[in-house]
Amino acid sequence: MPTRRKPHTTTAARQAGAGIITSRDLLEMYRVMVMSRVLDERIWLLNRQGKAAIVASAQGHEAAQVACVWATDRARDHYLIYYRELTTLLALGLTPLDLLKGFLARDGEPLSGARQFPTHGAHRGVDVFSFSNVVGTQLPQAAGVALADKMRGEAKVTVVYFGDGAASQGDCHEAMNFAGIHRLPVVFFCENNRYAISVPLSKQMAIEGVAERAAGYGMPGVTVDGTDVVAVYEAVRAAAERARNGHGPSLVEVMVERLFPHTSDDDHTRYRTAEDIKGMREKDPIPIMEALLGRQRLLSTEAREAIWAEAKRTVNVATEEAEATPFPSAREFRAHVFADA
């Protein structure tokens, strides 16, 4: 059985200029996490009802994803995501209705006009680039986007999200090597959930984790607990500042649990032990965040219940609206494929 690694800091990245998280930030991040969890559960249900074709759940990744967005500058930075980014998209400003329309392929879906897999496509408004389902392709693209910013003299940061499995692709090596050589403003954000579908970490790399590779590309690498919003925020904030100030790329590896099978088409009881599946619940970021807010006296029982009730209400209304929305018209089939003459 693959072991759970203790997060450790491999470089000074963590000390280099952390921003300040306010109580308000913590509560807002929690609100996004709850919304993501309620929405994710709804989408899973829609899949089981035969309405949503495929789901790659973000459950277990919520704290890491929201803290990463919070540590960057949504008004100017670029985001090259991958398929497991429901919380990232909510944190960037997409609505539950936008996302439900994607899972149900309804008219007006903003990422691809309901033409692609759910959560695939691009969004200029929130600076999300289109990516391929082919694992790892977003990594060299991120190096290219950052190179363009560097050539234009723009103080923007490119954040590229990828899994531990994607880290084994050649694309990852090429992107990190190129970004390191040219000191490009990239934050490599690896969501390490210890599995690439059924393949455990021990069959993907001969080292303990992805951050160890950073030294080979001349950049700092850090591994943090992906259930700890403060740790993720500080690590990404330091990496983003470094990039923005012209000091080049960094690698931030967050240790998370994939609380659901790889997708709705997978059954992880076939390759994860019962002990591993039971143990992963201890790393559920939602109760961990609730305990943090409780310790800081930021969340009463009533406030917590109100946040969950509000999320459920919003998701119920959005589900009804998405289901009542028609599919895109067949007449629109070729829209956005060819330039209008």
Ligand X SMILES: Cc1ncc(C[n+]2csc(CCOP(=O)(O)OP(=O)(O)O)c2C)c(N)n1
Partner from Mg ion, ligand X, none binding residue 98, C-beta < 5-8 Å depending on class? none
Q: Answer yes or no whether residue 213 interacts with ligand X by CB under 6 A.
A: no
Residue 48 among the catalytic residues: no
Cβ closest to Mg ion, residue 24 vs residue 270: 270
Q: Which does 166 bind (CB under 5 to 8 A by kind): Mg ion, ligand X, none?
A: ligand X
Sole binder of ligand X in the list 7, 96, 140, 163 (CB under 6 A): 163
Is residue 118 at the binding interface for ligand X, with CB under 6 A as the rule? Answer: no
Does 84 bind ligand X (CB under 6 A)? Our answer is yes
Residue 10 token pair: 């491999």
Among 3, 15, 23, 133, binds ligand X (CB under 6 A): 133
Contact (Cβ atoms closer than 8 angstroms) between residue 5 and residue 255: yes
Tokens encoding 268: 């992880």
Q: Which is nearer to Mg ion, 46 or 201 (CB)?
A: 201
Q: Is the dihedral of CA 240, 152, 161, 39 positive or negative?
A: positive
How far is CA 42 from each of CA 36, 59, 259, 325, rounded to the nearest angstrom? Answer: 10, 12, 15, 17
60 touches ligand X (CB under 6 A) = no
Query: Residues, the chain, total?
Result: 341
3-state secondary structure of 72: coil
The angle, 0 to 180 degrees and rounded to 10, between the axes of the packed helices 62-70 and 229-244 is 40
User: Does residue number 196 form part of the binding site for ligand X (CB under 6 A)?
Assistant: yes
Q: Are 266 and 197 in contact (CB under 8 A)?
A: yes
Q: For residue 118, give the 3-state DSSP assignment.
A: coil
Task: Report the chain's C-alpha Rg in angstroms.
Answer: 19
From the list 102-110, 154-162, 190-198, 291-299, the region that binds Mg ion by CB under 5 A is: 190-198
Q: Does 59 bind Mg ion (CB under 5 A)?
A: no
Q: Please identify which residue in 12, 45, 134, 303 interacts with ligand X, judged by CB under 6 A.
A: 134
Give the rounded distance of the alpha carbon of 97 from its chain centre: 19
Q: Does 257 bind Mg ion (CB under 5 A)?
A: no
8 A C-beta contact, residue 201 and residue 194 = yes
Residue 165 makes contact with ligand X by CB under 6 A: yes
Annotated catalytic residue 271: yes
Which residue lies nearer to ligand X by CB, 277 or 298? 277
Pick the catalytic residue: 237, 258, 304, 313? Answer: 258
Q: 187 with 157: CB under 8 angstroms?
A: yes
* Tokens 């103080």 sit on residue: 155
Residue 63, SS3 per DSSP: helix
In degrees and rounded to multiples of 5, residue 279 shows phi and psi of -65, -30
Residue 163 in the binding site for Mg ion (CB under 5 A) = yes
* Smallest separation, CB 114 to ligand X (Å): 21
Q: Which does 133 bind (CB under 5 to 8 A by kind): Mg ion, ligand X, none?
A: ligand X
Among 193, 223, 250, 325, binds Mg ion (CB under 5 A): 193
Of the candidate spans 6-14, 193-201, 221-229, 261-269, the one that interacts with Mg ion by CB under 5 A turns out to be 193-201
Active-site annotation, residues: 258, 262, 271
Task: Provide the binding-site residues for ligand X, judged by CB under 6 A.
Answer: 84, 133-135, 163-166, 191, 193, 195-197, 258, 262
